Structure 1
Amino acid sequence: MERWTAMKAHYLSPLFQPRCVVVIGASETEESVGARVFRNLLDAHFKGQLFGVNLRHPKVFGETVYPTIAAVPVPEIDLAIIATPARTLPGLLRECGERKVKSVLVLSRDFVAVDTRNRALLDEAVAIARRYGVRMLGPNLLGMMRPASGLIAANYQGKVKPGNLALVAQSSSVASAILDWAEAHEVGFSAVVSLGATADVNFGEILDFLAQDGSTRGILLYLEDVGEARGFMSALRAVARQKPVVCLKVGREPVSSTRAARTHSDRLIGRDDAFDAALRRTGVLRVPTMVHMSIAARMLAANFRTKGRRLAVISNGYGAGRMAVDRAQEMAVELPRLTPATVARLDAALPPIGSHDNPVDILGDAPPERFVAATEACLADPNVDGVLVILTPQAGTDHLATAQRMIELRRKTDKLLMLVWLGDKKIALSRKLLDRAHMAYFFSPEHAVEAFASLAAWAYIQELSLQTPGPLASRSEPDVGRAREVIAKALEAGRSLLTTAEALAVLDAFHIPHPPTLLARTADEAVAAAGRIGLPVALKIDADNLIHKSDIDGVLLNLNTLEQVAEAAEAMLAHARQRLPKDSVHGIVVQKMHGKRHGRELMLGVARDAVFGPTIAFGSGGLSVDVFEDVAVTLPPLNDMIAGNLIRRTKVARVLGAFRNHPAADMEAVRDVLLRVSEMVCELPEMVELDLNPVVADEHGAIAVDASILVAPLPKGFRRYSHMAVHPYPAHLLARGQLKDGSACVFRPIRPEDADELQRFVREELSDESRFNRFMSTLKQLPPSMLVRFTQLDYAREMAVVAMREEDGVERMAGVARYTANPDAASAEFAISIGDRWQGKGLGAQLMTTLFNAALDAGLDTIEGDILASNAPMLGLMKKLGFAIRPHPDDASLKWVVKPLRSAS
């Protein structure tokens, strides 16, 4: 059994946790990068070995330095910091490679992005680094810091305090500003990284290290742009499942009427919408300002949490309470009505004057006992998720005793208790008391409410990020082959816009309902079609490259007689042939009117973001879609929860409920259409834009009245789902097999809902010896964090395949195999575990074969792993499967096994 949990040192450890550092370009020249970095490391008392390289001087700041890195008298160098001009970089990288330096931090400031000579130098340096296996961070960056170990490897002036927050910033200037702010507010950092040009070590790799870093409890991100979406999403999703991540991003792109757009969806979905959607799917909290970032980060890193958005406000003054209420309404924080039992409890404890419902006014002279009574009552209310207590220093107020009682109360509740002590001099002593007790306290009601809103949003997006819907999420499977045939014929004909008939054929393939529709080439055919469908009907012009038919008066509704149909069809065809290119008009679409008297018009669409790929939009539909711009955006794939969240974020969601004489719309039908659209996005990568406008929903269901679909050929080398930022559940990898005893077994990718069964498998199916072989311990329960990591996968970078057998009508896990892709994106490390009672029955070979197929599907070339040298049965299986078995390079108790997948396929 291969060891799943033996944590190896991260491959970036030499960069972040170096034992030996060399500063190339160490200098005493005032204002030089080499001087500042070397001085910073000396002043911070770097805990490892520190050396300098200077070609001209034997000493720098009193320290002996060496003329070249080859002359540094140590056997191993983990990190070289290059602080010399850009022109020296290729040569220095070669020297570092020959000296077997493990990582390099390039602080050279004279790399200009538009300078072709600089670009050539950088490309040459990167090629050299890769040839020697040296990892390089930079250039054009502030630097990198690990304050606890004294690694202040940065061109920065100022003090950086150790702490539990990591800062990763794309801008050196913003990183400097955040550090300056942090120094003033005594905020410490576990790590600080400015990204610079990210010529080698990239954003995702840095986050991957921080996810495993024991000294980092929360991460602050400052972003200006995103590179490759899949790596960005994978890295963020992996780290945000383990630690809170707060992001501040600039460069919002407003939706503009001048934007070159084709469909409504393309026009309405802005670049920033897609970024927001991406963060929601990864579990990262986005904040609008640095102030919000600091508040959210401190709350999350201190492990304050709330399970909902319902806040009760208590204050000893109406005005202070009103400040909180106003901000709560602006932030969509719910202020629930207290239960009758809570109000009765408050009536008994508080003076008769003042408010005894939310917000609770306990009056200006409130003693500590009154604060406690009101707070205890609100914390006990089932309608409340968190309580905000605001104290203003007034005559009769004992702020110090009240602070002490709040500290005691905090220890007795699992709900969030937040405090605002307004004022300054009079309450300074109690503020210090609250600070020492690590209470969630603030200087203003507004900031407290913003912090609560951030915690509530974070809790929700964490739940959202754990959703792993399959690509075929709805009730009946679509006819994907039929849809692809329709698209292929259009592309072969050189068309990017499907005709109405083709678009409706695609909808049919995915079971999206639409009114009965026929294509007529002449007015006479239109009359005949209307007779067959039944009146009333709508007429729509059908022509090449015509998305918005109403732009040329190409739509007529509610035609109630065949005479009207004949007259309208003749006029519509004549008008279209005058306005459109010759031979582009195919005829008229005759469609049955939907007849939904209580129908609400919706828009469902898809647009292709340049970074994040397909995005799904939902909002108000009809002719006014571009006017109201009521649209919410998410990334596919969807499930019921994600679809429901998408709907709730729009204004039209309110109209879908019952109002006046309109019964509530069939929300399940609306969600079903969204799930069908999600299926289309997953399985039809050629589809770049889609408009279903309007989709009409009422109490009886939802139908798509009109559809526009734009398609494009797939790029060379396209891999399944590579067009998507979030990898769907890979249902296509499911395989069925048979064990040696003739019993059936299903092999499929693991799902989040398998967590309980995986826990049972470890507890009941593995002996102490098997658990030791697998975990290097005899643990009987997987810790919750490990259970999450093993079942909530990012299928873009890892895979786990489970062997499931049916026993007494219940699916039981018999074995599991997994791989995690290496940083080279070409190889992966694997793990396998077979339940004791299923060993020797051919399960292991079938499970590994399914894993091989998954790795090939992901584009991997090699699979490798380490196995205990004493585990003869597993080594035998590896030999049978064609693995090469070698001595382990780091541990004599292990064997290293390697299998090339391509030759095996």
Structure 2
Amino acid sequence: MKHYLHSFFSPSSIALFGASERESSIGKTVSLNLTSGKFKGPIYFINPRHAEVLGRRCFNSISEIYKPVELAIIAAPASITNQLMEECGKSGVKAAIILSAGFGEANEEGKKLEDAVQQTAKRYKIRLIGPNCLGVARPVTGLNATFHCGEINQGSLALVSQSGALCTSILDWAKSRKLGFSAVVSIGCAADVQFGELLDYLTYDSRTKSILLYIEGINHARSFISELKRASRVKPVLVLKVGRHNKGTMAAQMHTGVTSGEDDVFNAVLRQAGAVRGYRVFDLFVGATVLSTNKRLEGENLAIITNGGGPGAIAADRATDLNLNLISLSDDTEKQLNQVLPANWSKDNPIDIIGDATPERYQQVLSLCLKDKTMHGIVIILSPQSMTQPLQVAKEIVEASKKSSKVIICCFMGGEMVAEGRTYLEDNQVPTFTTPEAAIEAFSYLRNFTRNQRLLLQAPDPLQKEEKVNTEAAKSVIEHALSEGRTVLTDLESMAVLDSYNISTTHASLAHDINEAIQIAKTIGYPVVMKVYSKTISHKSDVGGVRLGISNDEAVKNAYHDIIDSVSKYFPEAEISGVTVEAMYIKKRSREVLVGISNDTVFGPIITFAAGGIATEIMGDREVAIPPLNKTLARELMNNTRIAKMLGAFRQLPGCNMGAIEHVLLRLSEMACELPWIKELQINPLVVDEYDAIALDAKIFIEAHSQTGRYDHMAIHPYPMELAKTEELSSGVLLEIRPIRPEDANLERQFVSTLSPTAKYFRFMQSIKELPQSMLVRFTQIDYDLEMALLAVISSGKMEREIGVARYITNIDKVSCEFAVVVADDWHRKGIAVRLMNALIESAKAKGLERMEGMVLAENTGMLGFCESLGFEIKRDPEDRSIFNVVKYLQQ
């Protein structure tokens, strides 16, 4: 099946609007690029002002061509572009690239032009890249539909950029370094085709080994994350994102009109999607160079070998900057190094093997480091000194690299003296750089890639099984506040919402007058805390509405008067209902953190963890994650902060109960998933000690929310609990049907291993003994937005057994899906497959998919009969007589 973006990369024919011979014009550059390449299909030039361009006939309009045109390239003025799109639509064009500027850029006219073009493209079902873009290149097919002045080398890197200017710079830079591309796409304003769809194409593109993205903003968050995850599972994705600071964000928005969102949120997205971020253009190539070798780290420990103290120190400094683990030498390795190195070697890591190091010395030290199981990656630095033989050293390194799975990264410093050695390393796919900093940064990309790939495998459940929460009670509180036209919950309401999700709070009581406040305080026991209670005040401290450490009846009386007077002074129109009274929380061994929910303009709900109390704003120590979370993601969120170190044991303080904080973060994640009305929630402080974590104060801001789907507000689709159900079979056995989870890997492995050889052959169309690890991960770490796998599970005590599974994966056309179903041999003819398939079909319908398709071996007559009973159409494959294609139309 051809990808739905196939027309942009391998069109059968091309028409160029605006072809020209005028010097320095876009029309001329594109005309030359199209005709000077190796593109084999017909190319038609269109420009009513010319009869001929570059010796080729120039048509007045596309209607004069009288032959099919698959791809249109428009390099005409913005004012007539919509008219040209109309002509393309009437002529059956499938795809268009609009190079023209003047759209969607900070002016009303540009927005109107872009809207008109979008509507025309949609009406005629023309897919569109641009406007205001550099174009598209596919070197392997000879297609260069860009106005880049220069040849684009063929290779395995794919580049997708929102900036055409950056594209040209990268292409020029890459050419000088002999780097080639599988595809180059400049998306400009991204009026139609987005990053997510291009990632989808590149994921399945066999020519692409690594993907480079330059991003200024994202339009469709869920699509972007889903496709980024899918791509990152099979090939490295490196991202350069601008807008880290306000000025950069403003510049990016002015350029593309796309919102960029908070930068730390974007970082969290990349981490959880398994991609790696760069901060400079050069970083893209550093990362691509080292990741394209396909060697991966088994740990994070780094060793540095150098023949110069200065370069070694520079490398060590950069490693420290990047929080890399420069491992100390083991006693055994140091002892062996003493036997092959001069007495004055460094005796530490970096391993300085002295300036007179020979190729043999490099080989001996590298060999010892590769044998040391505590060293996971090695950076080798060579500076050209009198005894240095760069080419021979390079040969020794290449030979060692071929025999080892460990990561080796080189830095051959200098120019002419090391050029031959550097070329030899490059020709043999050993990552090589010219500065120590670049080599260390390359290792950091591998480290980050390894960490993020681990996070990519986390596919959490929004509701942990062991927790009994009361979502309906929380909804009731929020709906009541909204019915009164309020956007802020009161203290008591906020604490009620937290209580409904099992977050420990200090229990407060409302006092309407002084006598009631004194009575409550006596019942609780002194000291107490008093806070103003008002439905119109969101920040109590700002208006003097809080008093702490109240220790007797008289102090309660005075505090009551002070609070009412202060609030009335600062906020005269406030509706004051009284004060809340609660116990003063005093624990000398506790620490304070901030946790919360907020909403990013692009990626929706996010979970925040930071230093609490007055330290929140002073330290600026915040980390965020995209819900839903699980325990691994919650721990990662905490560990990425500086405050995390203060939560451990130090001096006379015991370590805090990290599990208690984790519990709160997981409950907040569930709230973010299930309560879309929450605009912002902040618990500050969350007081934590060695026993518990307690919310002392909470603010919850709400807003009305309407959505068609349960999780439409989420950037990442949570575990679809609503699809889980339990049914009783005729035999009395309870059957659970539920979506697959990452922790089902062992169930899935055991299930496949116990299938008969015939069942395995029918399911996988090949003979296998058990699922390889890569396939097992792929089957259990699924994206619930794009695919579904439903397990049939029975339980005996605490033991579960998988007895069947049905799954679908959305096809690249995005309107159909491919299904598979298999049931354990000893559970055939008991209705398991029917139950699974009916549930799977309903799930696919709910996603809006139109067709469910599959391939069945002709000899698998049982499956063919089963498909027929479910209403599938069955036809023999015209190209392979041993296979039947089965199709069910879902939306009839």
TM-score (norm 2): 0.92
Deviation track 1:34-72 (CA, whole Å, cap 9, x = no partner) reads: 332232122122144444445566654234565554554
Instruction: Tell me how far 1:659 sits from its aligned partner.
Output: 1.1
Cα distance between partner residues in 2 of 1:540 and 1:352: 71
Q: Which amino acid in 2 is paired with 1:101?
A: V
Cα distance between partner residues in 1 of 2:533 and 2:878: 68
Q: Which amino acid in 2 is paired with 1:732?
A: E
Q: Residue 420 and residue 861 in structure 1: after superposition, are their counterparts in 2 closer, same or farther (change >3 A)? A: closer
Match of 2:256 in 1: none
Match of 1:714 among 705, 721, 742: 705
Match of 1:179 in 2: 171
Match of 2:782 among 793, 808, 832: 793
What is the CA RMSD across the aligned residues, in angstroms? 2.9
Asked if 1 retains the 8 angstrom alpha-carbon contact of 2:295 and 2:406, the reply is no
Q: Which amino acid in 2 is paired with 1:736?
A: T
Cα distance between partner residues in 2 of 1:686 and 1:82: 44
Match of 1:544 in 2: 535
The worse-fitting range, judged by mean Cα deviation, of 684-693 and 816-825 is 816-825
Cα distance between partner residues in 1 of 2:776 and 2:73: 39
Instruction: Tell me how far 1:119 sits from its aligned partner.
Output: 4.8
Identity of aligned residues (%): 40
Match of 2:412 in 1: 421
Cα distance between partner residues in 2 of 1:863 and 1:720: 23
1:43 counterpart = 2:36: yes
The worse-fitting range, judged by mean Cα deviation, of 696-705 and 103-112 is 103-112
The worse-fitting range, judged by mean Cα deviation, of 469-478 and 188-197 is 469-478
Instruction: Tell me how far 1:494 sits from its aligned partner.
Output: 1.3
Q: Which amino acid in 1 is paired with 2:779?
A: F
Cα distance between partner residues in 1 of 2:115 and 2:877: 34
Q: Residue 771 and residue 249 in structure 1: after superposition, are their counterparts in 2 closer, same or farther (change >3 A)? A: same
Once the two structures are superposed, the pairs formed by residues 36-185 of structure 1 within 5 Å of their partners are: 36-53=29-46, 55=48, 59-63=52-56, 68-70=61-63, 72=65, 77-111=69-103, 113=105, 119-120=111-112, 122-185=114-177
Cα distance between partner residues in 1 of 2:280 and 2:346: 34
Cα distance between partner residues in 2 of 1:869 and 1:100: 37
Once the two structures are superposed, the pairs formed by residues 557-572 of structure 1 within 5 Å of their partners are: 557-572=548-563
Match of 1:724 in 2: 714
Asked if 1 retains the 8 angstrom alpha-carbon contact of 2:82 and 2:120, the reply is yes
1:189 counterpart = 2:178: no
Match of 2:737 among 736, 747, 751: 747
Q: Residue 582 and residue 808 in structure 1: after superposition, are their counterparts in 2 closer, same or farther (change >3 A)? A: closer
Match of 2:473 in 1: 482
Q: Which amino acid in 1 is paired with 2:200?
A: D
Cα distance between partner residues in 2 of 1:697 and 1:614: 24
Asked if 2 retains the 8 angstrom alpha-carbon contact of 1:822 and 1:829, the reply is yes
Match of 1:648 among 639, 642, 660: 639
Q: Residue 414 and residue 822 in structure 1: after superposition, are their counterparts in 2 closer, same or farther (change >3 A)? A: closer
Instruction: Tell me how far 1:101 sits from its aligned partner.
Output: 3.2
Q: Which amino acid in 2 is paired with 1:897?
A: V
TM-score (norm 1): 0.91
Asked if 2 retains the 8 angstrom alpha-carbon contact of 1:755 and 1:791, the reply is yes
Q: Residue 521 and residue 62 in structure 1: after superposition, are their counterparts in 2 closer, same or farther (change >3 A)? A: same
Asked if 2 retains the 8 angstrom alpha-carbon contact of 1:474 and 1:676, the reply is no
Q: Residue 367 and residue 734 in structure 1: after superposition, are their counterparts in 2 closer, same or farther (change >3 A)? A: same
Match of 1:31 in 2: 24
1:854 counterpart = 2:847: no
Q: Residue 429 and residue 842 in structure 1: after superposition, are their counterparts in 2 closer, same or farther (change >3 A)? A: same
1:844 counterpart = 2:836: no
Please, which runs of 5 or more residues in structure 2 have no aligned partner?
Answer: 249-259
Match of 2:301 in 1: 310
Instruction: Tell me how far 1:394 sits from its aligned partner.
Output: 2.0
Match of 2:803 in 1: 814
SS at match of 2:417: coil
Cα distance between partner residues in 2 of 1:121 and 1:254: 28
Cα distance between partner residues in 2 of 1:66 and 1:887: 45
Deviation track 1:192-243 (CA, whole Å, cap 9, x = no partner) reads: 0000232322221111000100000111111111112111211211111211
1:864 counterpart = 2:857: no
SS at match of 2:211: strand
Asked if 2 retains the 8 angstrom alpha-carbon contact of 1:242 and 1:785, the reply is no
SS at match of 2:718: coil
Instruction: Tell me how far 1:756 sits from its aligned partner.
Output: 4.5
Match of 1:262 in 2: none
Match of 1:431 among 422, 427, 433: 422
Once the two structures are superposed, the pairs formed by residues 237-636 of structure 1 within 5 Å of their partners are: 237-254=229-246, 271-473=262-464, 475-582=466-573, 584-636=575-627
Match of 2:7 in 1: 14
The worse-fitting range, judged by mean Cα deviation, of 887-896 and 530-539 is 887-896
Asked if 2 retains the 8 angstrom alpha-carbon contact of 1:830 and 1:863, the reply is no
Q: Residue 423 and residue 120 in structure 1: after superposition, are their counterparts in 2 closer, same or farther (change >3 A)? A: closer
Q: Residue 527 and residue 119 in structure 1: after superposition, are their counterparts in 2 closer, same or farther (change >3 A)? A: closer
Deviation track 1:687-737 (CA, whole Å, cap 9, x = no partner) reads: 11111111111112211111111111112x342121111111112221112
Cα distance between partner residues in 1 of 2:857 and 2:90: 34
SS at match of 1:136: strand
Cα distance between partner residues in 2 of 1:121 and 1:838: 61
Instruction: Tell me how far 1:73 sits from its aligned partner.
Output: 6.7
The worse-fitting range, judged by mean Cα deviation, of 702-711 and 45-54 is 45-54
Match of 2:695 in 1: 704
Q: Which amino acid in 1 is paired with 2:852?
A: E
Deviation track 1:12-51 (CA, whole Å, cap 9, x = no partner) reads: 2222222333334444343343332232122122144444
Cα distance between partner residues in 2 of 1:355 and 1:606: 50
SS at match of 1:307: coil
SS at match of 1:426: helix
Cα distance between partner residues in 2 of 1:323 and 1:444: 9
Q: Which amino acid in 2 is paired with 1:709?
A: I
Deviation track 1:359-412 (CA, whole Å, cap 9, x = no partner) reads: 222211122232233223333334322111212222323333222221122123
Q: Which amino acid in 2 is paired with 1:537?
A: V
Instruction: Tell me how far 1:875 sits from its aligned partner.
Output: 5.1
Instruction: Tell me how far 1:489 sits from its aligned partner.
Output: 1.0
Cα distance between partner residues in 2 of 1:155 and 1:107: 9
The worse-fitting range, judged by mean Cα deviation, of 570-579 and 318-327 is 570-579
Instruction: Tell me how far 1:880 sits from its aligned partner.
Output: 4.2
Asked if 1 retains the 8 angstrom alpha-carbon contact of 2:845 and 2:890, the reply is no
Deviation track 1:90-110 (CA, whole Å, cap 9, x = no partner) reads: 454444444433322233345
Cα distance between partner residues in 2 of 1:806 and 1:475: 17
Cα distance between partner residues in 2 of 1:292 and 1:861: 40
Cα distance between partner residues in 2 of 1:395 and 1:803: 71
Asked if 1 retains the 8 angstrom alpha-carbon contact of 2:816 and 2:853, the reply is no
SS at match of 2:325: coil
Deviation track 1:826-851 (CA, whole Å, cap 9, x = no partner) reads: 76554434444434321222112322
Cα distance between partner residues in 2 of 1:242 and 1:803: 28
Q: Which amino acid in 1 is paired with 2:734?
A: A
Asked if 2 retains the 8 angstrom alpha-carbon contact of 1:737 and 1:846, the reply is no
Deviation track 1:280-333 (CA, whole Å, cap 9, x = no partner) reads: 121121111111122112211232432333211221221111001111111111
SS at match of 1:221: strand
Please, which runs of 5 or more residues in structure 1 have no aligned partner?
Answer: 1-7, 257-268
Instruction: Tell me how far 1:570 sits from its aligned partner.
Output: 3.1
Asked if 2 retains the 8 angstrom alpha-carbon contact of 1:245 and 1:284, the reply is yes
Higher-RCO chain (CA-CA 8 Å, sequence separation at least 6): 1
The worse-fitting range, judged by mean Cα deviation, of 578-587 and 463-472 is 578-587
